[in-house]
Every structure is written in structure tokens, then in C-alpha cells.
Amino acid sequence: MDTIPIYLIVTMTENGTIADKGVIPWSIPGEQRYFKEHTLGAAVLMGRKTWESLEYAPLPGRLNIVLTHSGTFSAPGAIPVTSMEEALTAAHAASLAKRELWIMGGAEVLNHAQWLANKAYVTVLHDHYAGDTKFESKRNGKITDHTVSEAEIEFSRTDLPGSAPTKYTKKLRYTRVVIDYDVLKRR
């Protein structure tokens, strides 16, 4: 079986937070477009909890693969698998417009599967967000692409107890990096 490139794609804070209580606590303009540009036509692998956070709707134009320990899990529109090996076999067997497997989260799957990845596409937010779900990146690689951007985002805050939340905007700075893990292997 020939190999298929494996990429991680994740948006996180500087301390690795990717979600809080089952939801992503930010909304960045252009984020979905960036994700789609990279993953469209390819296979995406997600954990069972991320699948549920999508409300069981497969991402269109991609082969959706859901990792679970359950051998009887049903995920209409997606392929349930119980191991990374099975996920790779499913991605290989599919007829994909783009022969790539994108590991899209959540944290448990990223933490488990990071060792298999050839590259990581990481967006780091330079702002504080409370979170209980963290990607613990343990690998070294070479940063091959690095861009710093700023977006104007909306947020709500309750300033006085009992009052309705007020909407504000603020500038959010974020850095996008591409990390090539294979560079170290090639040395």
C-alpha cells in the first residue's frame, strides 16, 4: 500500500486550548474558508465528539472518517473506524480528488495521531480563552510557512449584573504556521 500524506489542522490558543465544554469559543472571519481550502476533496478524520459537535452532518466534498472505540457506532454520511490503521485503509480505498488525510480534531484524536503526521497546519490565537480541551503538541519540526494576521471579531459582555450583554468588537491577532515534521527525518 503506498502512503497517503497525513496533515494535522487545528486552531488553538498559545497554551493549546482548542475548545471549552464541547464548543469552540471563538469565531474568526475567514477561518472556515481556510479550513475548506485545505481539506476540500480530501479525507478528514475526526473524533466521535467532534463528529457530534457537527451535529452529525458530514462536511461536504470530503470523505468524513470518525474515530471511535465502538465497533457498532453508526455515522450516516461518514465512515466509522476504530483505529488509525482503519482510518488510513479507508482513506486509501476511497477515490479522492486530493489524496490526503487531514486530522481535524478534537484534542484526543490530535494528541493520539500527531505521531503519524507529515505536516501540521496550526493557527495560534494570541488572546486568552478559557478552555478545558487542549492539544498537547509534542513533536518538533521545521516551520516552513509563517504569517501573522489580525481580524476584527465581535464578542458580548455583561457589564452590570442583571443587564443584557453588550456587543463589542476587538482586534484579534493570530499566527498561522505550517510545520514540516519530515524535515527532521530526512536529515
Ligand X SMILES: NC(=O)c1ccc[n+]([C@@H]2O[C@H](COP(=O)([O-])OP(=O)(O)OC[C@H]3O[C@@H](n4cnc5c(N)ncnc54)[C@H](OP(=O)(O)O)[C@@H]3O)[C@@H](O)[C@H]2O)c1
Choose the binding region for ligand X from 45-53, 56-64, 136-144, 160-168 (rule: CB under 6 A).
45-53
Q: Is 105 left (phi over 0), alpha (psi -120 to 50) or beta?
A: left
Reported for 50-56, long-range contacts at CB under 8 A and 24+ positions apart, including other chains, are: 50/104, 50/105, 50/106, 50/109, 51/75, 51/78, 53/19, 53/22, 53/23, 53/106
Of 175 and 183, nearer to ligand X (C-beta) is: 175
65, 67, 101, 120: which one binds ligand X (CB under 6 A):
67
Binding of ligand X by 86 (CB under 6 A): no
Binding of ligand X by 6 (CB under 6 A): no
- Ranges of beta strands (E only) in the chain are 6-13, 17-19, 43-47, 63-67, 79-81, 101-103, 119-125, 133-134, 142-157, 166-180
Around 4, how many Cα atoms within 13 Å sit in the side-chain half-sphere?
23
6, 43, 44, 49: which one binds ligand X (CB under 6 A):
49
Of 34 and 183, nearer to ligand X (C-beta) is: 34
6, 8, 10, 90: which one binds ligand X (CB under 6 A):
10
Choose the binding region for ligand X from 12-20, 94-102, 136-144, 151-159 (rule: CB under 6 A).
12-20
What residues line the site for ligand X (CB under 6 A)?
Answer: 10-12, 18-19, 22-24, 46-50, 53, 67-70, 82-83, 104-109, 112, 133
